[in-house]
Structure 1
Amino acid sequence: MEQCLRIRVVMGLDRISEFPEELLLKILSFLPTKDVIATTVLSKRWRSLWKLVPKLEFESENEEDIAKFAEKVGRCLLSHKAPVLESLHLKVTDEHEETICGINVGLWVGIAVARHVRELVLDLSLFKNSLRFPTVALFCDTLEALKLKYSVLVDVPSPVYMKSLRTLHLDSVKFKDNDSIHNFISSCPNLEDLLIHRVTLKKVLIIEAPSLKRLSISGKIGGKEEAGGYVISARSLKYLNIRRLYNCRCCLIENARVLVKATVSNVSYIVNENILGSLKLARRLSLDLSPLEIKCPTRTRFYNLVYLEMSTIEAEWWNLLKLMLESSPQLQVLKLIDPGKDASKDDEVSGQWSEPKYIPECLSCYLETFVWIRYDWEREEEKEVAKYILRNATFLKKATFSTRPVEHQKSLQMLNELNSVVSSASNSCHILFE
């Protein structure tokens, strides 16, 4: 029996070892690098196989000696022989002040560039220190994705040419000055995906990216007196996400003619610019804004807008809703959401709903779906908004309300109350409660 088991194990190992090298490398590329290197003890066949794996990922462990970690990374990269390095991920976390002396990011990135790296991720969390981003990577013709995070200092004194770069993520990194970030972005003529998170600006950053399709901007920008801002010119932009911009000098999106979806939340006191007006060509909008803190487009028409999602947590949110209904003549789907962040909504949401003077065209001709998540039927203004929409949406097919748990009797009362309103407007509408 023991001999049979031994034969089965040996046969099993032989069966895997006899796979084509290309297949083995594909399998190993899904494993953490430390596990890939551990396969060297299996047999002669595996001893040098790890050196050809096209994906490498190094992460410092908790309480690990950074000098030893850095030495291990350097040794592995120098031994690596893959003709093309598909990706290199480096994550270093350390709270000791001397860490910066033991890390040779320039050497690591230089080796990756020599291996024709396609994706490079630098995630550095160091004690009050920032490591300068190696300039050798700025001249890498093969680099397609670059993601920088935390303790990275970028200095690009003049534009370069990164012809292959399509994805650029800048998460909480530091730039020497505004020119550096402008030169960096403008050096990527084929950029399609750009993320800028918690990057401090003292001036207005002009982003001109004709190939850009996805843009995400977030993070607090400076103080009220010296805040920066954004002017984005991207004629290919399809997906936009802007959040947590306060006291921003401006935020303007130009030439966004093919915009599919835009999400704007926690944006307030944008000076001299109408951010909503910049999104007039969007097909889908998701808004979490206070009409008391941001300029609303009084004359802008959202002719392409078919889907609108809005938060109901901000003060007098219904005034923004009223304006959007009046400005979106072809709106087909309306979704209202209470994020549920604060149980005491009374202080945040105050005021009184007043109906538009004229029934908006979208209600009388186009709106088919109405969804309200965390609808509070005991709040008078929410009840009035719901009744107004149900009463005037002539072509409404489905209305869905999700509420907090209520007694069965109250649930029936709410259903009957809304049903009586909708029956007079649209015989084909179905009301659902979740």
Structure 2
Amino acid sequence: MDIIGVMIGVAFGLHVRELKLRVNSSHMYRFPTSLFNCGTLETLKLDGDVLLDVPFPVCLKALRTLRLYGVSYKDDESVVNLLSGCSSLENLQVVLYPFSYSDVKTFNIDVPSLQSLTLTSDHEDFESFTAYVINAPSLKHLQIYGLMQDESSCLIENMPALVEAHINVCGVIYENIHGFLTSLKRLSLNIESPLDLTKFPTGRIFNQLLYFKILAFKPEWWNLFTLMLDSSPNLQVLKLINKYSRERDQLLACKRWSPPNYVQECLVNRLETLVWNNYEGEIEDEKELAQYILRNACRLKTATFSRTDIHPVKNLDMYKKLASVVRASNSCQLVFKETDVSGKYDKLITFLGL
């Protein structure tokens, strides 16, 4: 329903359940304060040149889904007043652009009912934006993109029910983020810049973690991988996706992977599935890591390796080298796939004699 229809509906006491508002203008559109007490509104989606000036607590007691896409906020209190009045809110999506930061310094998310939260920043300049503070004791699903510029960028105070998280890692693995992820069962990490692991949380054990995925846009991800295996004794599914440029100078400058002096508990007792997308087999660190997993994962059932089909001869040689590795698990099935450059199809590779 459009904004005019909603305002008329509210004026006549009608049950308005959903509002989607997108503004593309040279002037900010101030969201009508008369709608902040619409007791029947269940879904609110604001997009574009919308200004949220909320000088008093609202009463959106039926609101379950709130999507704030590139909107602006008058001040910190506008955020607090808006969210504090959404007593039934379950799904919150916040997307920030440089022009949408306004005068907000701390985006405080204190919502006891919240179950799903997505935070996205579309710019690297954080000078006009200080931090997110999250207090969401019922939160189960969390997605963070591009927000960990430093330790104060995202402060998590309470998320004991969290079971799944996708986090964009911008260089540093901060303890104040990962220290609150111990209840997770599924975790995905995007590594988009060279890693600094000096602040990786120590003494933390992800006892509940069953599924772990790394999307690597930069080298050295293998060092984070080792730390995560150390911290995840019950890990069952491991997915590795290579997306970084393999320029020789870049790889020579990175910190090499060193096999640990012990075998992680999850490899001995738990890991059942390995999926490695875009496995090149030409980088020594990656070859050693792949062989290390195959040699030590005692309960591994399937190990799937895939890469593009632009070098079929090299691909076949790579598959043969992996197939020749003595595997710790006698029941482990190796699966090799080739994918076209566009990623539209997969081709299962089989060969005799192995």
TM-score in terms of structure 1 length: 0.70
Contact preservation (8 Å) 1:260, 1:284: yes
Contact preservation (8 Å) 2:172, 2:196: no
The within-5 A match list for 1:112-191 is 112-113=9-10, 114=12, 115-127=14-26, 129-191=27-89
Residues in 2 aligned to 1:295 and 1:186: alpha-carbon distance in whole angstroms: 33
Q: Which runs of 5+ in 1 are unaligned?
A: 1-87, 91-104
- Residue 124 of structure 2 is aligned to residue 229 of structure 1: no
- Residue 109 of structure 2 is aligned to residue 207 of structure 1: yes
The within-5 A match list for 1:25-424 is 88=1, 90=2, 107-113=4-10, 114=12, 115-127=14-26, 129-198=27-96, 199-200=100-101, 202-220=104-122, 223=125, 226-248=128-150, 249-268=152-171, 274-289=176-191, 290-292=194-196, 295-339=199-243, 342=245, 344=247, 347=250, 350-405=254-309, 407-421=311-325, 423-424=326-327
SS of residue in 2 equivalent to 1:402: strand
- State the shift of 1:173 in Å: 0.3
SS of residue in 2 equivalent to 1:274: helix
SS of residue in 2 equivalent to 1:236: coil
Higher relative contact order (CA 8 A, sep 6+): 2
Q: Percent same amino acid among aligned pairs? A: 45
- State the shift of 1:226 in Å: 5.0
Contact preservation (8 Å) 2:197, 2:224: no
Q: What is the aligned residue count?
A: 327
- State the shift of 1:221 in Å: 6.8
- State the shift of 1:355 in Å: 1.3
Residues in 1 aligned to 2:198 and 2:61: alpha-carbon distance in whole angstroms: 38
SS of residue in 1 equivalent to 2:161: coil
List per-residue Cα deviations over 1:377-431 (Å, max 9, x = no partner): 011111111111111111111000001225554333322321222x341111011
Structure 1 residues 132 and 408, CA, compared in 2 at 3 Å: closer, same or farther? closer
Q: Which runs of 5+ in 2 are unaligned?
A: 338-354
SS of residue in 2 equivalent to 1:278: coil
Structure 1 residues 258 and 123, CA, compared in 2 at 3 Å: closer, same or farther? same
Judging by fraction of residues, say which structure has more strand: 2
Contact preservation (8 Å) 1:267, 1:294: no
Judging by fraction of residues, say which structure has more helix: 1
List per-residue Cα deviations over 1:130-155 (Å, max 9, x = no partner): 11001111110100000001111111
List per-residue Cα deviations over 1:306-346 (Å, max 9, x = no partner): 00000232231111111100000000000000136x47486
Residues in 1 aligned to 2:70 and 2:203: alpha-carbon distance in whole angstroms: 37
Counterpart residue identity of residue 276, structure 2: W
Counterpart residue identity of residue 299, structure 1: G
SS of residue in 2 equivalent to 1:136: helix
